[in-house]
Amino acid sequence: MPETKGKGKAVTWAAPLSGYSVSTKAVPHPRPGWKKGVAITDFVLRLGAIGAALGSAVTMGTNEELLPFFTQFLQFHAQWNDFPMFQFFVVANGVIGGYMILALPFSYVCIVRPYTIGPRLGLMIVDIVMMGVVTGAASSAAAIVYLSHNGSQDANWIAICQGYSNFCQTSSEAVVLSFVAEVFLMCLVPLSALALKRN
Amino acid sequence: MPETKGKGKAVTWAAPLSGYSVSTKAVPHPRPGWKKGVAITDFVLRLGAIGAALGSAVTMGTNEELLPFFTQFLQFHAQWNDFPMFQFFVVANGVIGGYMILALPFSYVCIVRPYTIGPRLGLMIVDIVMMGVVTGAASSAAAIVYLSHNGSQDANWIAICQGYSNFCQTSSEAVVLSFVAEVFLMCLVPLSALALKRN
The model's pLDDT over B138-178, given as tens digits with 9 standing for 90+, comes to 999 999 999 999 988 888 888 888 888 889 999 999 999 99
Q: pLDDT band at residue A73, thresholds of 50, 70 and 90?
A: low
Site from A35, A87, A127, A140 to mutate, B interface, most B CB atoms within 10 angstroms: A140
Residue B23, pLDDT score = 43
Angle at A45 between CA A40 and CA A51, to 5 degrees: 135
- What is the sign, positive or negative, of the torsion defined by CA atoms of A105, A108, A112, A118? positive
Residue B21, pLDDT score = 44
Look at phi and psi of residue A151 and say left if phi exceeds 0, alpha if psi is from -120 to 50, else beta. Answer: left
Q: Model ipTM?
A: 0.77
Which run of H or E residues covers position A66?
Answer: strand A64-70
The answer to whether A190 and B125 have CB atoms below 8 angstroms apart is yes
Please give the domain boundaries of chain B with CATH numbers for all domains.
31-66+77-196 (1.20.120)
For residue B85, the chain A residues in CB contact (below 8 A) are 143, 146
Q: Is A143 on the interface with B (CB under 8 A)?
A: yes
Q: Is B9 on the interface with A (CB under 8 A)?
A: yes
- Strand-strand pairing, B75-79 and A64-70: unpaired
Residue A173, pLDDT score = 95
DSSP classification of residue A68: E
Count of CB pairs separated by less than 8 Å, A with B:
151
Residue A186, pLDDT score = 93
Calculate mean pLDDT across residues A33-55: 92
Chain B nearest-CA distance from A165, in A, is: 14
Give residue A116's identity as a one-letter amino acid code.
Answer: T
Nearest CB among B10, B128, B138 relative to A6 is that of B10
Q: Is A180 on the interface with B (CB under 8 A)?
A: no
Q: Is B155 on the interface with A (CB under 8 A)?
A: yes
Whether residue A115 is predicted with pLDDT greater than 90 in this model: the reply is no
Residue B165, pLDDT score = 86
The answer to whether B35 and B115 have CB atoms below 8 angstroms apart is yes
Q: What are phi and psi of B158, to 5 degrees?
A: -85, 155
Chain B nearest-CA distance from A136, in A, is: 5
Task: Please list the pLDDT of chain B residue by residue as tens digits (199 residues).
Answer: 444 444 444 444 444 444 444 444 444 555 567 888 889 999 999 999 999 999 999 999 998 888 876 666 666 788 888 899 999 999 999 999 999 999 999 999 988 988 888 888 899 999 999 999 999 999 999 999 999 999 888 888 888 888 888 899 999 999 999 999 999 999 999 898 888 876 5
SS3 of A37-48: the string is HHHHHHHHHHHH
Instruction: Provide the CA A34 distance to its chain's centre, in angstroms.
Output: 22
SS3 of chain B: the string is CCCCHHHHHHHHHHHHHHHHHHHHHHCCCCCHHHHHHHHHHHHHHHHHHHHHHHHHHHHHHCCEEEEEEECCCCEEEEEHHHCHHHHHHHHHHHHHHHHHHHHHHHHHHHHHCCCCCHHHHHHHHHHHHHHHHHHHHHHHHHHHHHHHHHCECCCCECCHHHCCHHHHHHHHHHHHHHHHHHHHHHHHHHHHHHHHECC
Site from A96, A128, A178 to mutate, B interface, most B CB atoms within 10 angstroms: A128
